[in-house]
Structure 1
Amino acid sequence: MTEAEVFTAVEELARNARAASYQLAQLSTDTKNAILRSMAAGLRAATPEILAANALDIEAGEAKGLSKPMLDRLRLDEKKVDAIAGGIEQVAALPDPVGQVMEKWTRPNGIHLEQVRVPIGTIGIIFESRPNVTSDAAVLCFKTGNATILRGGSEAIHSNRAIAAALQAAGEAAGLPANAIQLVPFTDRSSVTALCQMDKWLDLIIPRGGKGLIETVVSQARMPVIKHYDGICHLFVDAAADPDMAVKLTVNSKTQKPGVCNALETLLVHASVAESHLPAIAAGLREKGVELRGCERTRAIIDAVPATEEDWETEYLDLILSVKVVDSLEDAIGHINTHGSHHTECIVTADDAAANAFLAGCDSACVFHNVSTRFADGEEFGFGAEIGISTDKLHARGPMGLRELTSYKYQVRGDGQVKR
């Protein structure tokens, strides 16, 4: 397709999404939940077609030489499809934020005002190889009354088409408006640029993927973007840290699932406890196969590869951890605010004053006291599901659940008041 043809096709999707969004905003919670349950059943019924489509993606991925981790993220089986359907049912069971009265008050002239949650409207989701995102993003946006345009990566195009078709068909049978969930059906790179230019029709874009994708979207988008850059998460072992807790939380934060955004990437240790605490922490990490990269003071205490300046700003997503000894709580906070990605930080300490200073001082979306960084997650926060973790400060920050996929309006009622 030429760029002009891509733009025309994407513009038609965007126009259709805007029309669908007005219908979605009128659906009751009961209707939306019934549609979601129908989608889950339809997805299970379409399992053979979804797996056949996924096999085409796996075959193409192997031919292109995709890495084993990428192929693992791409591969579906009956159990995974059933889990995706189960996730839809979980979203159906979650409270609906749309229509919630956030605040209400009455003015002296008798005018009654309410601030009410409403759908954002139309949302573009641009994501990479995980086909489950097709369902996750679509149903979370639908639950909150938003029309969605999904643009997945080329590696999962057959799987994405099959999942999106199953969701839309089963949803329409239960009352889903046409074009409420649309998938960009082609993989031309120019489709990303075209989506980013649809500010007349799209209210928001959410990119989910690597830093390169996110930077491309941010540089091109004419509408707001909610983004998640690197997950450079820190854990600070304070002077008043319990040594056993320091080991437990460090090892869990780094190794429970190292390839995710809330995994630990840099360990900071107060100089007063470095010699007493670091050896046990290092031993626990080495048992899990973690490579340590340390500053000069760290390497005077434990064996570690020399750390470079680049290490302090690297999201490894692997069994690698940078370690630095700092002289004070203030130095730890300064390091985090300078080198971090504003995602998730933790302090291990029995000193409440130090904990409070850390919680207040770290400029990050999630700041923990004596809790593994792996709990920076929508489900763990009690949101039930999330569309991602935002490192932005405006509109949404941290795990983005259903509430973060809404905006608000003011509904004003009176009995004939006029301005004098």
Structure 2
Amino acid sequence: MSRHASSSQNDTLANTAGASLDIDAYMASLGQAAREASAQMRRQTSASKNAALLAMARQLEQSRPGLLEANSSDMARGRESGLDAALLDRLALDDRRIDGMIEGLRQVAVLPDPVGEVDGLRYRPSGIQVGHMRVPLGVIGIIYESRPNVTVEAASLCLKAGNACILRGGSEARDSNAAIAACITAGLEEAGLPPAAVQVVATTDRAAVGRLIAMPEFVDVIIPRGGKSLIERISREARVPVIKHLDGICHVYVDATADLDKAYAIAVNAKTHRYGTCNTMETLLVDAPLAESLLPRLASAYAEHGVALRGCPRSLGLLPDATAATEEDWATEYLAPVLSIRVVDGIDEAMAHIDRYGSHHTDAVVTENYSLARRFMAEVDSSSVMVNASTRFADGFEYGLGAEIGISTDKLHARGPVGLEGLTTRKYIVFGEGHVRQ
């Protein structure tokens, strides 16, 4: 495929939205172009990838009026179709968000490049040296909803990690994504990188998603970013490995030895800092000896923030404004100012609750007992486990990754916040000097 084939194909499709299209043929063409581009990306230097990222940033700056105009069309269509206020807010682009996309590209450009890192070299008795080299995954398919700035985030991280990617944004952001894709393509071409290294699916036909997740000959991994129903569908139907998390049912357990001021600050922050994020606390577990002194104080703070409380029978006596928690409450990711509270008898009951109702995302313990903290870290099976810290720290930026493509609660390959290193894999490398096996 020529250097300009991918961008011209997307332009054609964007201009003929709704026209009859052979989805299988179209997606196969994107996949073939991405596979060829990934082979070229493996030989790119950090300097060339960084140059492309900075060129994309310049293209976004120069195209600011066009981006705002395209987004205005998406917003008008969204209002007509009845999108709620939260979705419209995610969809909206303004100068501040465009500035954020530009700054994000520049920040990724200065991150350390993991590709080519060699570690663990050691001599074997035979005389050979064996180690690992970090290499790109290959072709990454990313499926996401609403937020057009994800197009830039996903493209930049995949590119810096040496991958090609196929991006399928939500239909509600069709015009915005097409405008951003044009900037990305122009930046790639300016830097001399293959334009097919980043391709945005131009059709809004849902069949394109089904085809993207079923092309193992072209796609190495799928990353869905969106609501639970989208991720469940991708996980169920994909024939390609998926990096994902379904729920963020995060817990904070306050042990009887906890410092009350620490516990108060963490429990308030973990719930009220932001409500709609996957690392927000949804259930607070309090060791019985502390319940009487801690829960009424927390209830006052939650009331100031408008947080509705749902409690177990033991906590209801201390929380007169709370309602009785149901079995469903313990297994619910509210993403809202609602909190479930349970009084427990010690760490074993707390961990049993987390094991039964948690989603393996992020769980925290507040304690001054070092041995108990070690137990909690060792036995709670979550992708992030915290001691005396808010669950809101489960974030790629806070972990020093610079940026993240999402959170993984899987156990194979990537787990927790997925940054540049999570978009690579490792292969064995062997050095010898004419060695032959005896």
Q: TM-score range by the shorter chain?
A: over 0.9
- 1:329/1:3 CA distance change after superposition, 3 Å: farther
Asked if the contact 2:216/2:239 (under 8 Å) is kept, the reply is: yes
- The equivalent of 1:320 in structure 2 is 338
Residue ranges of structure 2 left out of the alignment (5+ in a row): 1-17
Q: 2:106 aligns with which of 89, 101, 107?
A: 89
- The equivalent of 1:363 in structure 2 is 381
The answer to whether 1:259 aligns with 2:273 is no
The letter for the 2-side match of 1:277 is L
The letter for the 1-side match of 2:97 is K
Pairwise CA distance, 1:142: 0.2
What's the RMSD between the two structures over aligned residues? 1.3
How far apart in 1 are the matches of 2:47 and 2:164? 18
Partner deviation per Cα, 1:107-155 (whole Å, 9 max, x = no partner): 2333233310000000000111111110001110000100000001111
- The equivalent of 2:197 in structure 1 is 180
Partner deviation per Cα, 1:335-377 (whole Å, 9 max, x = no partner): 0011000000111111112211111111101111110111000
How far apart in 2 are the matches of 1:415 and 1:375? 48
How far apart in 2 are the matches of 1:316 and 1:397? 23
Partner deviation per Cα, 1:286-310 (whole Å, 9 max, x = no partner): 1111000111111111120111000
Give % identity: 52
Q: 2:410 aligns with which of 392, 396, 406?
A: 392
Q: 1:241 aligns with which of 243, 254, 258?
A: 258
The letter for the 2-side match of 1:352 is Y
- The equivalent of 1:310 in structure 2 is 328
Asked if the contact 1:293/1:322 (under 8 Å) is kept, the reply is: yes
Q: How many residues align?
A: 420
How far apart in 1 are the matches of 2:365 and 2:253? 5
- The equivalent of 2:220 in structure 1 is 203
Q: TM-score, normalised by structure 2?
A: 0.94
Partner deviation per Cα, 1:277-327 (whole Å, 9 max, x = no partner): 110011111111100011111111112011100000101111000011111
**SS of structure 2 residue aligned to 1:259:** coil
Q: 1:375 aligns with which of 389, 393, 398?
A: 393
**SS of structure 2 residue aligned to 1:371:** coil
**SS of structure 2 residue aligned to 1:105:** strand
How far apart in 2 are the matches of 1:111 and 1:276? 63
Q: TM-score, normalised by structure 1?
A: 0.98
The letter for the 2-side match of 1:237 is V
Asked if the contact 2:115/2:162 (under 8 Å) is kept, the reply is: yes
How far apart in 1 are the matches of 2:271 and 2:24? 43
The answer to whether 1:48 aligns with 2:36 is no
How far apart in 1 are the matches of 2:147 and 2:182? 17
How far apart in 2 are the matches of 1:112 and 1:257? 49
Asked if the contact 1:168/1:176 (under 8 Å) is kept, the reply is: no
- The equivalent of 1:290 in structure 2 is 307
The letter for the 2-side match of 1:412 is V
- The equivalent of 1:351 in structure 2 is 369
Q: 1:401 aligns with which of 408, 412, 419?
A: 419
How far apart in 1 are the matches of 2:139 and 2:162? 9
The letter for the 1-side match of 2:161 is T
Residue ranges of structure 1 left out of the alignment (5+ in a row): none
Asked if the contact 1:312/1:322 (under 8 Å) is kept, the reply is: yes
**SS of structure 2 residue aligned to 1:179:** helix
Asked if the contact 2:188/2:195 (under 8 Å) is kept, the reply is: no
- The equivalent of 1:192 in structure 2 is 209
